[in-house]
Each structure stands twice: as C-alpha cells, then as structure tokens.
Structure 1
Amino acid sequence: MQQKFSAVLFDCDGVLVDSELITNSVLREILQENGWDISVEDCLEIFIGKALKDQWEPILQNTGVRIDDAWLTDFRTRRDAALRTQLQAIEGSFQAVDAIAQVYGPRIACVTGADRAKVEMQLKLTGLDKFFDDRVFSGMEFPRSKPAPDVYLAAADSLGIDPRLALVIEDTATGVTAGVAAGATVFGYSSGGPTSTSPETLRRAGASAVFSHMEQLPSLAIDAA
C-alpha cells in the first residue's frame, strides 16, 4: 500500500463524529429561550459548518442579543454535557482512520473549525484520539476560521508538507471551500443523513470527489501497491 497524498487532513464534526444534530439541538433550544422560534431546518441551514462566533448577526437580528464570551461559554457548557451522553463516531470512521493511519503514519491530522476543547473531548470519547495525538488544529485559534484556509495551512506547515499535496476530508461547503483555498485536494463526505450536505453542493464548492460511506475512504486515499 502506498500514499496517494503527502498527508490526510480530517475535519471532525460530521466526518469523524456524529455531533451535528446534538450540537444544533442545544443551540436551537438556547435560541428559542432567547425569543427566536427557529425551526430545526433553519437552524441547520444557518449554523452547520460555521463558527458560531461568526454567526452573531442573525442571532442579534432575531433575538436582540449580541452574543459575547459569557453567552458562548454557557452554550458550550450545555453542548458539551449533551455530547458526553449522546456522542458516537460516524459509522465506519474509526476503521477508515485506522486503515489510513497504518499507511500515512503521523501524517494525518484533525483540522476543525470548532473549539479545541470540544474536539479533543469528542476524539477522546470515541477513541479516535489515539490516531491524532497532538495533531489537532482548531480554526478558532486563528484570526479567520473556515471558510478561510488558515487552519489547513497551519496544519500542513506543522506536518512539514506542501498543502497542495494534502488530501482534505470535509462534509460541508464551508469546509470544502477552506480546503480548496489552501490548495489541497478535497473529498466530500455526503452520507444522505439529516445534517448531510448534498453531493452537488460539495462539488460546487470544489470537492473533486464525493463519497457516501466511510468504508469507501481508504481506497480513495491509498494506492494499492
């Protein structure tokens, strides 16, 4: 087996862990408490794949509340409590990462737009942390998060690879845009579930391939010798 790319960079939420509905449900509950009777569909459409701190404007427009650090801290506390009791890995993600790690070794990373504490907790809860060690990168630690390429460029730099030779795995248009802007090849994951982005949308954002189940990923990322 041989590497097709210099490294494989995985998004976390919606790619490695099935967290989006859990997180979005907590957010919707808080928004409703603040006076915004937002539907499940609209909450998913507006917020999935985006850094919550960057989405302050629709929250202000619909609740009159300008979210601040205290608001975000309360949200994260409630979100993390829900994740600890409900989170599961995406079906097949553990096996896919295991297969890829056997070929790429330390040249894999988890590259997310979410806050580091959440991501590290999720990886630990699902046992995926053993594959990534300290190779976890949070877009919230940079001036610009996804769809800007900064976090992917930082991950590539840390791994010592040209980002143009990296493979990025993403499940949202925002994430695909970030990977493409970094110069990487991006494969989109579209499971067909309630929080899934359509294959067409992922391709329009720049994904060069789209797959629907994690068992398909190793063959896409690895050359048979």
Structure 2
Amino acid sequence: MRYDLVIFDNDGVLVDSEPISNRLLAAYLTELGHPTSYEESIRDYMGSAMHRVHELVLERTGEPLPGDFDDVFHRRVFAAFERELEPVDGVVAVLEKLVADRVPYCVASSGSHERIRVGHRKTGLDRWFGDGLVFSAQDVGRGKPAPDLFLYAAERMGAAPDRCAVVEDSPLGVLAAQAAGMDVYGFTGMTPAERLPGARGYFSDMGELVGLLS
C-alpha cells in the first residue's frame, strides 16, 4: 500500500445515502417554495455541508430558510435511512482488506456526527468505524470544498497530507482533497468522471479501489 492513511467520504462512498437524501432535500425545498429537482439537488448540494444549502438558497432568492430547516430535514432523512439505507456494494471487502494489511483509515464527512452514526448503525458499518475514526464538518470551521476537514482528520490520525488517499464521489470533495494536498480517487457510481476532474484515478466498482490504492 502506497499510503499511510485512507480517508473515506461517507455519503455515497460508504453508505448509499445520496439518492435518499437528495430526493428528500429536493422535495423539502420545493415544499418551502424553492422548486428543486432531484438532479438539481445532486448538482448543487451533493457532498456539501448543510450551511451550503442555506447559503445558496439565500443567495438565489434573498430568503433565508426556516430556523428549523436542518432539524426537520434530518428527521425525514433519518426515518428514510431506517427504511432504505444500505452500505455501498463492495465497501466491506475494501475495509476488510485495509484491516488485513494494517492500513489506517477513517471517515471525513460533510454530514453531522449524528447523521454518520445513524447511517453506520443501520448498515452495520459502525463495527468498522469506532471512536477516533469519524470526523465531521462539525469539527472544523469550514466544510468542503475547503481543505480543513481532511487536514484535521489527517492530523488527528497522525498522517502527513501527502501520504493520504481520499476516496470521494462529489466535486466539492475532490476539490477539498486537492486543496489539502492529498491524492484523491473518484468513485463514479453516481457522479461521472468528468465532474470529478483532477482525481488520481477513477473507479465505478468498489472492487477496483484496492488495486488503485496499491
């Protein structure tokens, strides 16, 4: 393995949550008078922290979202997770390989700690991501595309940025990893490679990832 640390994005990389959360986000924004399609939600918000939703809506409409927007949205998402959420196909085999090879790994997500934990409990990934292996945009001042979250995760894990590999599926995440000076590998399960420019490699099946990292 050529890296000292592998940093996984969460939504869309570890758990198959992007279709669920973007469907609900588009519906909720539309309900509030900000018509948004599923495709537009994917384009504008996939991989970002919640503050970006507030900022873009305010910028575009001049109207702030309701004060309870995040709470209502997360309640809807968590309820849907309990019904629908699954791990991304093949990701458990990747984690097994990293453990067998004694390669450190962690998750660094734009989502809240609660959202990460809810998703991991539902999918069984909590056994792979114990204390000290979960980092959220809540832990830093700025979310992706700023590099802060990835740099924070690397520091906490004791790895130099140029010895880290990031696994991402969103344009904002790829930009954040590049800004952090880390190699990034683009998962094209939902996002075409052309929307993830500058990645060191691309893969559409988790079975391909270990080979890329090696």
Q: Same fold (TM over 0.5)?
A: yes
Out of 30-39 and 78-87, give the one that drifted further.
30-39
* AA aligned opposite 1:211: F
Counterpart Cα distance in 1 of 2:74 and 2:16: 17
1:123-157 CA-to-partner distances (Å, cap 9, x unmatched) read 12111122221210001321101111111111111
Counterpart Cα distance in 1 of 2:34 and 2:67: 20
* AA aligned opposite 1:185: D
Taking only the aligned residue pairs, the percentage that are identical comes to: 34
Counterparts of residues 62-141 of structure 1 (less than 5 Å) = 65-67=63-65, 69-105=67-103, 107-134=104-131, 135-141=133-139
SS of equivalent residue, structure 2 residue 28? helix
RMSD in angstroms over aligned alpha carbons?
1.7
Q: Structure 2: state its 5+ residue gaps.
A: none
Tell me which residue corresponds to 1:201. Answer: 195
152, 155, 174: which one pairs with 1:176? 174
Residue 86 of structure 1: how far off its partner (Å): 0.6
- Calculate the TM-score normalised by the size of structure 2: 0.93
Counterpart Cα distance in 1 of 2:172 and 2:78: 23
159, 162, 167: which one pairs with 1:161? 159
Counterpart Cα distance in 2 of 1:160 and 1:38: 41
1:75-111 CA-to-partner distances (Å, cap 9, x unmatched) read 1111111111110111111111221222135x11011
Residue 57 of structure 1: how far off its partner (Å): 3.6
The total of aligned residue pairs comes to: 213
1:36-70 CA-to-partner distances (Å, cap 9, x unmatched) read 23222222212112222222243236666412552
- Calculate the TM-score normalised by the size of structure 1: 0.88
